[in-house]
Structure 1
C-alpha cells in the first residue's frame, strides 16, 4: 500500500501520520525518525514546527515526504535518505561506498585529542570513508595536516567534498590506496576505523546495516582481524611511518581488544591503553612503538 501525502496537509499532521505509519510497521524509533525527516527534508527547525505547524507542506513537500516515508518503510536508514549525517557537530555527506558515521567512532577522535600533545600533528587516516575522523581531527587541531586513504574512489571523492565543506581542504589530502602502501610518513598519529566484523556474522546484522552499508566497510574477514593484521603488520615492516612518540589508534569491536592487542608485539608495538565508549565497551586500542617505551623507561620519563 502506497502512503501519499497531500500538499494541503499541515506540517504537524504530516509528522504525526508519518510517525504512525513507521510505528505501525514496527520501527521502534518511528516518532523520532518522522520528526527528524520532516525537519531536515523541509528545511525547518523545531521552532518552525512548533510555531508554524499548521502551515501546509505544499506540493514539493508532499512529494519529498512521500518518497522519504516509502524508503524508510522499506528499511532504508534515515541517514541514507537524507544523504548526510552529523559527526561531532560537523555535517558529512554520504555516498554508497561510505559508512554512516556512528557515535562509537567519536571515541576514537576523543582519544586522539586527549592523548596527542603535539600542537600541529601530522595525521594518517586509513580507510577514511566519508573522511569524518580526519576532518573532525583537523577541525579540532587548527595547525594539523592529514592524509586520508581509501580503496574506494567514491569514498575518496566524498571525503574531499566533506573536507571542503568543513573548511579543512587546504590541510588535507585524500588518496586512493591499500592501507599504508600509498604513503611514506612519518606521522604523529595514524588512525583507522577498519572493517572488523567477522564474515560469518554479517548475515546476522540489522537489515539497515547489512543492506545499506558498504560491505567493504564491514567485512573484516573470517575472524574480523584482516585489516588489523595489514595495518599493524605494515608498521612492523615500516616503522618509519610513525614519528618518534607517534601513536596508532584503532577502533575495534567490543570484544576484540585482547586479540588486536596480541598482534602488537610482533610488529614492535605495545598497547598503551584501551578506551571505552559511552556504553562501557572497549572501543579504541592505542599502540606505540616498544622502542619509545623502552627509551622513556631508560631516561626515567
Structure 2
C-alpha cells in the first residue's frame, strides 16, 4: 500500500500535467475529504499507509478533477458564510462574492419578524445563511428546478432552519402566493450569452447553464423581477449583479419607480450588489 505522501505526490503530478490551477491544493483537499481529516492531520500522517480502496477512489476523483470537474461537485461540499452546503451539478457552486449580498441584508434594521422571498434559490446558500444570521426571519424560496429545490431543502436541514423556510416550485412569481414580503432577494442568471464562451471550463462545462445566463443580454431577469416584485408590497429588493451591470440595473429599477437605489462593489472593486427600496422595512 502507498503512503499518504506518495498518493498525494502522484495526484498532484497528474493535475499539474493537465494544467489544473492549484493542483497541489486540490490534490490535498480530495485526499483530506476521503480520509475525513484536516490538513494538519494529513501532514502528521505523511508516512501512514493508505488502504487500496481509498487509493482507487482517490484516483477516480483525480481523473474527474483533471477533466476540469469542479472540486465542489466531486466532494459535494462548499462553505458559504461559515456554513456547510451540499452541492452537485444541479445548482451553482456558492461563491464568496455572493456573501456581500447576504451581508448587506443582514445589516438592515430588522426590528420585527421579517418575511423574505428568494427567487431562484439554487443551493439555498443565500436564504439559509440569512436564516442562520437573522434569528426572527422566515423565508419563502422558489426555483424553476425541482432538483435545485431538493438540494436547498437538504441544506436547510443540514443547517437546522427547516421550520422557518418554505419551498415553492415556480417559474419566477408564477406560483408565489399574493402576500407582503419585507424583502425580495435574487441572484439571477445574469451572464450575457455573448460572454458564455469566455467562462472557465469548470463553469461552462459543469455548472447549470440555466442558472448562469438568460441566453440574452443578461438583464432579462432583473426586468421581470423588478416589475413583478411591486405586486407584493415589498420593502426592499436586493440583487447580485454582474461586474459591469450597475448602470443598467439601476436604470431598470428607476424606470420601475424604486427609490434609494444603492450600488455596492466587491473586493475586486467590481459591481456586485444593488439594493433598492419600494416601501417601509
Task: Please classify the TM superposition score into its range, dividing by the shorter chain length.
Answer: over 0.9
Which is greater in Rg?
Answer: 1
Helix, strand or coil at the partner of 1:203: helix
Mapped to 1, the partners of 2:48 and 2:83 lie a distance apart of 30
Structure 2 counterpart of 1:15? 8
Alpha-carbon RMSD: 1.6
CA contact (8 A) 1:95 1:155 kept: no
Any stretches of 5+ residues in structure 1 without a counterpart? 1-7, 294-301
Mapped to 2, the partners of 1:119 and 1:18 lie a distance apart of 52
Q: Does 1:259 align with 2:243?
A: no
Structure 1 counterpart of 2:104? 111
Map 1:193-204; keep pairs closer than 5 Å: 193-204=187-198
Structure 2 counterpart of 1:41? 34
Q: Does 1:192 align with 2:186?
A: yes
Map 1:243-282; keep pairs closer than 5 Å: 246-282=235-271
CA contact (8 A) 2:184 2:229 kept: no
Mapped to 1, the partners of 2:103 and 2:70 lie a distance apart of 26
Mapped to 1, the partners of 2:109 and 2:179 lie a distance apart of 17
Paired positions, count:
280
Mapped to 2, the partners of 1:43 and 1:11 lie a distance apart of 13
Q: State the TM-score, normalized to the length of structure 1.
A: 0.89
Structure 1 counterpart of 2:199? 205
Mapped to 1, the partners of 2:48 and 2:13 lie a distance apart of 20
CA contact (8 A) 1:37 1:68 kept: yes
Structure 2 counterpart of 1:123? 116
- Cα deviation digits, residues 19-38 of structure 1 (max 9, x gap): 12211221121111111111
Helix, strand or coil at the partner of 2:182: strand
Structure 2 counterpart of 1:162? 155
Give 1:116 shift.
4.0
Mapped to 2, the partners of 1:270 and 1:257 lie a distance apart of 15
Structure 1 counterpart of 2:173? 180
CA contact (8 A) 1:95 1:154 kept: no
CA contact (8 A) 2:250 2:261 kept: no
CA contact (8 A) 2:146 2:169 kept: yes
Mapped to 2, the partners of 1:55 and 1:278 lie a distance apart of 41
- Cα deviation digits, residues 253-273 of structure 1 (max 9, x gap): 010011001011232212431
Mapped to 2, the partners of 1:19 and 1:167 lie a distance apart of 37
